[in-house]
Amino acid sequence: MASSSKIKTVWYCTSCGNETSKWMGRCPACGEWNTMKEGLSRDSRASSAAPSRDRSLIGLSEARPTALKDISVDQDSRILIGNKEVERILGGGIVPGSMILLGGEPGIGKSTLALQLPLRSKGLRTLYVSGEESPRQIKLRAMRLLRPGEGDNEDNCTILGETQVDNIIRCALELHPDLLVVDSIQTIYSENIDSAASSVTQVRECAAALLRMAKESGIPVILIGHITKDGAIAGPKVLEHIVDVVLQFEGDTRHSHRILRSIKNRFGSTAEIAIFEMTGTGLREVENPSEILTPMHQENLSGVAVGSMVDGSRPFLIEIQALVSTAAYGMPQRSATGYDARRLNMLLAVLEKRAGFKLSAKDVFLNVAGGMRVGDTACDLAVVVAVLSSTFDLAVSPGICFAAEVGLSGEIRPVGRIEARISEAARLGYREIYISSYNLSEDLRRSIPSTGIRVVEVSDIAALCRSLFKNAQ
């Protein structure tokens, strides 16, 4: 009897959750180094949590298998939260009983977005659980987020300052809100687990308890999670596996724009992003990101080009800025903000090797406007044009944009979703768009006249220079 009640500890990997009886420098399952943490074994956790199992929410012992044809699904059961951008990312709203993990850097706007949902939604009863702020602090933040005429929505939001998971579940079952927000999962702990809060064991078991509550009661849960210095969500990797949706906040906290990206979604597409602007009254939805990312100056300036970028399924135009100057101390500098510095060096090498532009003794500085990060190779042509425009000190017409990839041999390569890129440029009033000559199909040639935009085909950098920089010396 004594041996059966003994608490047994194991070492488990924070990346994959694999358990071992002793510490190892490298996980034998996933191969990651220095990821082993000590915690209770599954048998010890089950025995220590036996009293709570007797108080099962619905009763797991009563669960019975059900034929697939007998399961009813309500197609219109999604919960609308009054935020069109978030609803679009989620696939039309929140599915009852789902669990959403919202991660991001400190100060990026996670708590702000989670508190905005009940304050700006009509009739969305929300239980907001905070383990980091007091109810008074949340009230002060809510007063800042409330807009004129929306004070009645305060009645729909209930604040709970609690970190014990059993108490949170008890309050959620008593109130039965339309939405449960937990800020953050790293502050929640269970008394049945002999480890500190925010440990991998506590995060995993508390998330599992909240997930069980969500599935049994139908209450959707939003978990706010911190991230590590590497950008990954803190805690075990299994946390991302057990939740239904993983949303990641991205952006530079020094800029006002924020990107909400869907990393995982069991009920919708992961090829969606939402753009917000951080203001004094909270996060504002940016329905047309191209208008804030394209040039805002009226005069023609050299070193500026507009590229067409697709992030997820959403095309938008973005301003690329370049500054080329003579190196002051013989060692040229290469700096890129919002763009891959290695790809910039590759494009500069292509310009020097294939097109004959002597840039080895030049300082080159590149910046993507709006604090955005560009990962689409279709912006290569805009980067090249911005660099050449600054080199020649010749401005590019503000009515021209670019959408093409640049290869190592200096050729202009085709990119995907060119129809959407052309339509977005035409919608914003651009007169011309430069694309690869290999990108035009017969169907696209027939549809171009209806867009009202002139499509210019270029095959290499030499043809690009002849078309844009005719007056260059």
pLDDT tens digits along 186-238: 899 998 887 777 778 888 889 999 999 999 999 999 999 988 776 677 667 78
Statement to judge: residues 246 and 168 lie in one domain: yes
In a domain, 53, yes or no: no
How many degrees, rounded to 5, is the angle at CA 332 between CA 330 and CA 336? 165
Domain boundary residue, one of 287, 310, 326: 287
Share above pLDDT 70 across residues of the chain, in percent, rounded to a whole number: 88
Q: How far apart are CA 178 and CA 221, in angstroms?
A: 9
Statement to judge: residues 224 and 316 lie in one domain: no
What is the mean pLDDT of the segment spanning 87-109?
90
Residue 43 pLDDT class (50, 70, 90 cuts): low
Statement to judge: residues 296 and 283 lie in one domain: no
What is the mean pLDDT of the segment spanning 35-56?
55
At 448 the pLDDT is 77
User: pLDDT tens-digit profile of 64-94?
Assistant: 788 888 777 665 578 888 888 899 899 889 9
At 3 the pLDDT is 42
At 238 the pLDDT is 80
At 384 the pLDDT is 96
Q: What are phi and psi of 470, to 5 degrees?
A: -70, -30
**What's the CATH number where 20 sits?**
2.20.28
How many degrees, rounded to 5, is the angle at CA 370 between CA 368 and CA 373? 50
- DSSP 3-state of 185: helix
From residue 12, alpha-carbon distances to 23, 142, 326, 363 in Å are 8, 40, 55, 49
How many degrees, rounded to 5, is the angle at CA 316 between CA 299 and CA 107? 95
How many domains is the chain built from? 3
In a domain, 240, yes or no: yes
**What's the CATH number where 363 sits?**
3.30.230.10
In a domain, 307, yes or no: yes
Q: How far apart are CA 79 and CA 415, in angstroms?
A: 37
Domain boundary residue, one of 242, 266, 287: 287
Q: How far apart are CA 122 and CA 463, in angstroms?
A: 56
Q: How far apart are CA 429 and CA 104, in angstroms?
A: 35
User: pLDDT tens-digit profile of 129-179?
Assistant: 999 899 999 999 988 888 766 545 677 899 999 999 999 999 999 999 999
Is residue 300 scored above 90 in pLDDT?
no
Statement to judge: residues 307 and 426 lie in one domain: yes
In a domain, 229, yes or no: yes
* Residue of 430, 458, 411, 410 whose CA lies nearest to 315: 430
Is residue 58 scored above 60 in pLDDT?
no
Domain boundary residue, one of 287, 307, 340: 287
At 91 the pLDDT is 87
What's 286-331 look like in SS3?
A: CCCCHHHHCCCCCCCCECEEEEEEEECCEEEEEEEEEEEEECCCCC
Query: In sequence order, what are the beta bridge partners of 321?
Result: 304, 367
Statement to judge: residues 278 and 336 lie in one domain: no
Statement to judge: residues 411 and 265 lie in one domain: no
What is the mean pLDDT of the segment spanning 347-359?
91
At 2 the pLDDT is 42
Residue 244 pLDDT class (50, 70, 90 cuts): very high
* Residue of 403, 427, 406 whose CA lies nearest to 416: 403
**Token pair for residue 26?**
């490298």
In a domain, 66, yes or no: no
The whole model's pTM is what? 0.73
At 214 the pLDDT is 94
- When the pLDDT of each residue in the chain is averaged and rounded to a whole number, the result is 84
Statement to judge: residues 248 and 369 lie in one domain: no
Is residue 295 scored above 80 in pLDDT?
no
Buried b (16+ CB within 10 A) or exposed e, 268-298: bebebbbbbbbeeebbeebeebbebbbbeee
Statement to judge: residues 25 and 171 lie in one domain: no
Alpha helical stretches, state H, 100-184:
110-119, 135-145, 165-175
User: pLDDT tens-digit profile of 383-394?
Assistant: 999 999 999 999
Position with higher pLDDT, 155 vs 351? 351
Specify the pairing of strand 221-225 against strand 179-183: parallel
What is the mean pLDDT of the segment spanning 295-324?
85
**What's the CATH number where 214 sits?**
3.40.50.300
Statement to judge: residues 349 and 445 lie in one domain: yes
Statement to judge: residues 299 and 191 lie in one domain: no
Q: What are phi and psi of 181, to 5 degrees?
A: -115, 130
In a domain, 411, yes or no: yes
Alpha helical stretches, state H, 218-285:
238-242
Q: Residue 406's CB: how many other CB atoms inside 10 A? A: 25
Q: Residue 459's CB: how many other CB atoms inside 10 A? A: 15
From residue 387, alpha-carbon distances to 137, 291, 391, 414 in Å are 49, 23, 6, 21
From residue 52, alpha-carbon distances to 45, 234, 393, 411 in Å are 11, 27, 73, 66
Statement to judge: residues 237 and 264 lie in one domain: yes
In a domain, 417, yes or no: yes
Residue 42 pLDDT class (50, 70, 90 cuts): low
Looking at mean pLDDT, say which of 65-74, 117-126, 376-385 comes out highest: 376-385
At 83 the pLDDT is 86
Position with higher pLDDT, 271 vs 204? 204
At 387 the pLDDT is 96
In a domain, 55, yes or no: no
**Token pair for residue 62?**
């009563």
Strands (E), 113-256: 126-130, 157-160, 179-183, 221-225, 245-250
What is the mean pLDDT of the segment spanning 421-442?
89
Statement to judge: residues 110 and 240 lie in one domain: yes
Residue-number span of the structural domain to which 404 is assigned: 291-468
